[in-house]
A and B are shown apart, each in its own frame.
Chain A
Amino acid sequence: MAAKPKLWYFCGRGRMESIRWLLAAAGVEFEEEFLETREQYEKLQKDGRLLFGQVPLVEIDGMELTQTRAILSYLATKYNLHGKDLKETVRINMYAEGTLDLMMMVAVAAFKPPEEKEESLALVVKKAKTQHFPVFEKILKDHGEDFLVGNKFSWADIQLLEAILMVEELDASVLSDFPLLKEFKTRISNIPTIKKFLQPGSQRKPPPDSHYVEIVRNVLQL
């Protein structure tokens, strides 16, 4: 039996959360090792397990993968969530990159001083409402299908749901002008693997708080 993928990261969302979502949505059980001390991090580096000295790190299929996008792309393909041909794959990648950009802004904002943080998060909501969500609403409207690409559940759908929920945490009314996205949110949330992931006690992580920021700063010596 194949070993479960093992995730090395802080106990929080950051750059690992999209990876957790993808694995969970694919119904793949995974283990996690949480970085809490500088010593743990230095050991990973000394053991040569972090190619460019960074986490996330995912051990899977005999590889030690780092770099968020490399990991996401590998998992999406492995679990058949990456389209049926190159043209579908590129669309999935385009949509996923868009939502990833948005979510990274949220992750990075946690580390800014309070005033800048507020500004950054307000900008995220603005971008979501004016740039990202209108595009996805239109995509769903144009083809009238249940999923973003190829009438089949893919990585793009998982990322979009993750992004919607994240932005709703900042502004609960953000979907008010996007009826199709509201339906999309309900539909994707009800997929059994995702429904399970959305329940308390799953491996989904909460939004970053000051405790999380402190740990990351200590471990990475920022």
Chain B
Amino acid sequence: MEAIRWLLAAAGVEFEEKLLESSEDLDKLRHVFQQVPMVEIDGMKLVQTRAILNYIATKYYLYGKDMKERALTDMYTEGVADLGEMILLLPRCPPDQKNAKLTLIRERTTNHYLPACEKVLKSHGQDYLVGNKLSKADIHLVELLYYVEELDPSLLANFPLLKGLKTRVSNLPAVKKFLQPGSQRKPLGTEKTLEQARKIFKF
């Protein structure tokens, strides 16, 4: 859900949250796929993170100006999501596998994902990934960069353009507000929050 919070926040859209605290809370959700994340917006109950993100991005003009820009936005978003997922799932890793997983994440970050994004920015020299305008791709990437930094700040060392993007996006008034304590931003999951999730979702 965090990517959805970032996107809404960056678009300057106020939103309410109902946080699930028990499995009964989950059972009460009677809708299409019986899943979360679920977002009620414009009279609809939406599930499937990507469907939700793409709806919000389109509605708030954060999805490129045409089909081709949208395709580029999607490509960058998907790559970022792959790495993001690896990092987010780290708490679920059994202790004896954690080091190997961390090494893999470090390798992927430094050799694949960040260089690819740095290269995109270098190739056109513009302030944002797509179409010289802020899009969901930038927001998702910057969110990821915060997680990477939390994992190991040295991982960002060789990517000056990404650092520049991170600063630039972080300084946008709506994002700056979201980054302040007391906003609806949530911290990265820990073993404790994982335990709570296990109880609610029964896995």
Residues of A that sit less than 8 Å from B by CB: 51-53, 61, 63, 65-71, 73-74, 77-78, 86-87, 89-90, 93-94, 97-98, 131, 135
Which residue of B32, B52, B67, B116 contacts A51 across the interface (Cβ within 8 Å)?
A: B116
CA distance A63 to B44 in the complex (A): 34
Complex-state Cα separation, A71 to B201, whole angstroms: 32
Known pairs A70-B74, A73-B70, A94-B48; A53 contacts B112 (CB<8 A): yes
Secondary structure at the B interface, as helix, strand, loop or mixed, is helix
Please state if A131 and B34 are interface contacts (CB–CB under 8 Å). Answer: yes
B72 to chain A: which residues have CB within 8 Å? 63
CA distance A93 to B58 in the complex (A): 13
How distant is B38 from chain A, measured CB to nearest CB, in Å?
Answer: 11
State the 9 A-B residue pairs at the shortest beta-carbon distance, nearest first.
Answer: A70-B74, A67-B78, A93-B51, A97-B48, A52-B79, A74-B71, A94-B51, A90-B55, A70-B75
Contact (Cβ within 8 A) A93 B50: yes
A74 adjacent to B74 (CB under 8 Å):
yes
Inter-chain CA distance A49–B8, complex, in Å, is: 33
B82 interface hit (Cβ, 8 Å): yes
Whole-angstrom distance between the alpha carbons of A53 and B71 in the complex? Answer: 17
CB < 8 Å A-B pair total:
77
**Residue contact A94 to B79, C-beta cutoff 8 Å:** no
In the complex, 18 of the A-B residue pairs with CB atoms within 8 angstroms, ordered by the A residue number, are A61-B68, A63-B71, A63-B72, A65-B75, A67-B79, A69-B50, A69-B74, A70-B78, A73-B54, A73-B70, A74-B74, A86-B59, A89-B55, A90-B51, A93-B48, A93-B51, A93-B55, A131-B33
Q: Does B42 contact A (CB under 8 A)?
A: yes
Asked if B46 CB lies within 8 Å of chain A CBs, one says yes
Which listed residue, B44, B82, B113, touches A90 by the CB 8 Å rule? B44
- Contacting pair A135 B71 (CB below 8 A): no
Q: Contacts A69-B78, A87-B44, A94-B46 given; indicate if A74 touches B67 (C-beta within 8 A).
A: yes
Partner of B54, one of A53, A87, A93, A131: A93
Q: Tell which of A53, A67, A90, A94 touches B75, judged by Cβ atoms closer than 8 Å.
A: A67
Cα A186 to Cα B54 in complex, Å, equals: 31
User: Which of chain B's residues has its CB closest to A90's CB?
Assistant: B55
Chain B: interface residue total (CB-CB under 8 A):
30
A131–B77 alpha-carbon span in the complex (Å): 27
Question: Which residues of chain A have C-beta atoms less than 8 A from B48's C-beta?
Answer: 93-94, 97-98
Q: Give, as a whole number of angstroms, the nearest-CB distance from B110 to chain A.
A: 13
Q: How far is the CB of B130 from chain A (nearest CB, A)?
A: 12
Give complex CA distance A34, B167 in Å.
42
Q: A98-B48, A131-B34 are in contact. Are A52 and B113 (CB under 8 A)?
A: yes
Partner of A97, one of B51, B59, B67, B112: B51
**Smallest CB separation, B66 vs chain A (Å):** 10
Is B105 on the interface with A (CB-CB < 8 A)?
A: no
Shortest B49–chain A CB gap in Å is 8
A77 to B63, CA, bound (A): 14
B155 interface contact, C-beta 8 A: no
Partner of B67, one of A52, A69, A78: A78
- Within 98-142 of B, Cβ neighbours of A (below 8 Å) are at 112-113, 116
B47 at the interface (CB under 8 A from A): yes
A141 → B minimal CB distance (Å): 14
Q: How far is the CA of A200 from the CA of B157 in the complex (A)?
A: 54
Query: What 0/1 readout, one digit per residue, does chain B (71-104) give for beta carbons within 8 Å of chain A?
Result: 1101111110010000000000000000000000
Q: Which residues of B contact A68 (CB under 8 A)?
A: 78
| Separation of A66 and B71 alpha carbons in the complex (Å) | 9
**CA–CA, A73 and B82, complex, Å:** 17
> Would you give the shortest CB distance from A124 to chain B, in whole angstroms?
16
Within the complex, what minimum Cβ distance (angstroms) separates A192 from chain B?
Answer: 26
Q: CB within 8 A of B74: which of A52, A67, A89?
A: A67
| A residues in contact with B76, CB < 8 Å | 51
